[in-house]
């Protein structure tokens, strides 16, 4: 089921109110453009936002991507200004974009990455699923397979792009690429591990875990 549009607020650990916008399914390039505009104009006097959405099937190439060819397929390939290399987005994947004024929380990009990873690790561990991070490849892994990917951009002290978590998506398109630039990297999804929570519960728990770290 597609992510349902919804808006609400959550408080960070530091007491700041954050607007959460569940946007449903949104085109990647238009979403990226909207995030760029937000980051360029966002000030410390305005509330931060977190966008939660799904993208239609698309490969995105980050600023470090050196992979110029893909196996033949009918999925669009687009350039992204996030860090990292190539990944895949599609229905059944939860995408979370934190649009934050980082000085508000006294953190930098490394801490933001660690907080995003920890939010996923805590989410999975509370349901009895062991997860871990890797120093050589940002993201979250279960049984050596990647279940969540990260890619960020900072502009004028504001973050955009963020985290993708594989819930119940078709994993076949990952076989056309070296996910995140790593040849032979295995990819998994929550539905392969007896995940007990529905989509909305997963989103809400992930958000609470993340904002509790800010």
List b or e across 16-37, with b for residues whose CB sees 16 or more CB atoms inside 10 angstroms: bebebebbeebebeebbebbee
Catalytic pick among 167, 180, 187, 207: 180
Catalytic status, residue 73 = no
The pair phi, psi for residue 93, each rounded to 5°, is -115, 130
List b or e across 55-82, with b for residues whose CB sees 16 or more CB atoms inside 10 angstroms: bebbbbbbeebeeeeeeeeeeebeebeb
Tell me how far apart the alpha carbons of residues 30 and 35 are, in angstroms, rounded to a whole number: 9
Which residues participate in catalysis according to the annotation? 180
């Amino acid at each position: 089921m597609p992510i349902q549009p919804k808006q609400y607020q959550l408080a960070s650990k530091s007491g700041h109110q954050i607007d959460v916008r569940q946007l449903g399914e949104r085109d990647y390039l238009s979403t990226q453009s909207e995030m760029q505009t937000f980051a360029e104009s966002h000030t410390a006097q305005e509330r931060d936002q977190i966008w939660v959405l799904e993208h239609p099937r698309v490969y995105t190439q980050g600023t470090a991507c050196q992979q110029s060819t893909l196996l033949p397929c009918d999925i669009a390939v687009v350039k992204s200004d996030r860090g990292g290399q190539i990944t895949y987005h599609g229905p059944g994947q939860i995408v979370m974009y934190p649009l934050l004024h980082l000085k508000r929380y006294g953190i930098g990009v490394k801490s933001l990455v660690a907080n995003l990873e920890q939010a996923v690790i805590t989410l999975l561990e509370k349901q009895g699923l062991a997860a871990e991070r890797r120093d050589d490849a940002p993201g979250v892994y279960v049984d050596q397979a990647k279940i969540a990917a990260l890619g960020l951009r900072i502009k004028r002290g504001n973050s955009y792009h963020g985290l993708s978590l594989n819930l119940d998506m078709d994993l076949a398109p990952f076989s056309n690429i070296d996910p995140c630039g790593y040849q032979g990297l295995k990819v998994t999804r929550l539905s392969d591990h007896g995940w007990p929570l529905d989509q909305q519960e997963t989103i809400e728990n992930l958000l609470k875990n993340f904002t509790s770290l800010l």
